[in-house]
Amino acid sequence: MAKTRDTLPLLRTEEDLARLPAHERIRYRLVGAGSRYHANDNIAAHVRPGELDELKAEVESRMKEVLQALVIDTDSDHNTNDTARRVAKMFIDEVFRGRYQPAPALTEFPNVERLNELMIVGPVKVRSACSHHLCPILGRVWIGVMPNEHSNLIGLSKYARIADWIMSRPQIQEEAVTMLANVLQERVKPDGLAIVMEADHFCMHWRGVKDDESMMTNSVMRGAFLKDANLRREFLSLLSKKG
Ligand SMILES: [Zn+2]
């Protein structure tokens, strides 16, 4: 088999891979599969059992270097002594877990009652972080669904679980609502889907202009909500009452 180093990735055996740090091993699989791995992408399909613990250890050691670069004496400062470990755990197990955990399991029910009335879920509280500064984003999401007889219905609490899975990643608000819309469209298959997200961006409070006007609202309208101005109005008016 002819193989040029320039065009083909160097093939590695499982044994070679095992010797690499976990983040390089996982990246090798992602590149091999042609999968994007931006901050707000989920990479769970490429992470093998036990590798999240390895990743946590790698993030911890890099985080320790960040603290050193900030000229913080983590050896004698009891407050920052264990910070690298805490931050690594917080990133991988908590605030960015939506990158590393598979999608929440959902039970989908066929729409046997043939419901075709506007359904609104929200406000769902969401927590995220901006991709630019890794500062918190705290907000609320409203979801409007217009089902048809072919739609799959999911339990109300599942909307919150999917939103949490999408938001628990470094995100950009516009991309986050689009991602959420794509997942719901694919799972629920409604006639129309509307999402509004309103969020407070802490990078605006904490740094930069220190502007307290940091609320940002954006929306995605699909299908029936795009075509039907009355439906869109009905959704937006119910949402303002529920606020
Ligand atoms: Zn930011």
pTM value is 0.90
Q: 7 vs 24, which has greater pLDDT?
A: 24
- What is the per-residue pLDDT across 147-160, written as a single tens digit (0 to 9) for each? 988 888 888 899 99
- What is the per-residue pLDDT across 183-218, written as a single tens digit (0 to 9) for each? 999 999 999 999 999 999 998 888 876 666 778 999
Q: Are 199 and 173 in contact (CB under 8 A)?
A: yes
- Indicate the pairing of strand 119-130 with strand 108-110: unpaired
User: How close is the Cα of 132 to the center of ligand 1, in Å?
Assistant: 5
User: How close is the Cα of 79 to the center of ligand 1, in Å?
Assistant: 26
User: How close is the Cα of 134 to the center of ligand 1, in Å?
Assistant: 6
Q: What is the pLDDT of residue 109?
A: 80
Which band of pLDDT confidence, cut at 50, 70 and 90, is reported for residue 58? very high
pLDDT of 17 over the 60 cut = yes
Helices (H), the chain: 14-19, 22-33, 51-69, 83-89, 97-100, 156-167, 173-188, 202-206, 224-227, 229-242
User: How close is the Cα of 202 to the center of ligand 1, in Å?
Assistant: 7
- From residue 195, give the alpha-carbon distance in Å to each of 118, 211, 228: 13, 26, 15
User: How close is the Cα of 208 to the center of ligand 1, in Å?
Assistant: 9
- What is the per-residue pLDDT across 229-240, written as a single tens digit (0 to 9) for each? 999 999 999 887
Average pLDDT over every residue of 106-116? 79
Distance, CA of 235 to CA of 120 (rounded, Å): 8
Q: Are 119 and 144 in contact (CB under 8 A)?
A: yes
Q: What is the pLDDT of residue 210?
A: 65
pLDDT of 115 over the 80 cut = no
Q: Are 139 and 197 in contact (CB under 8 A)?
A: yes
Distance, CA of 74 to CA of 51 (rounded, Å): 27
User: How close is the Cα of 220 to the center of ligand 1, in Å?
Assistant: 21
Q: What is the pLDDT of residue 242?
A: 57
DSSP state of 30: H
Q: What is the pLDDT of residue 211?
A: 65
User: How close is the Cα of 214 to the center of ligand 1, in Å?
Assistant: 11
User: How close is the Cα of 125 to the center of ligand 1, in Å?
Assistant: 19
User: How close is the Cα of 9 to the center of ligand 1, in Å?
Assistant: 35
Q: Are 98 and 167 in contact (CB under 8 A)?
A: yes
User: How close is the Cα of 136 to the center of ligand 1, in Å?
Assistant: 8
What is the token pair recorded at 10? 């160097």
Q: What is the pLDDT of residue 1?
A: 44
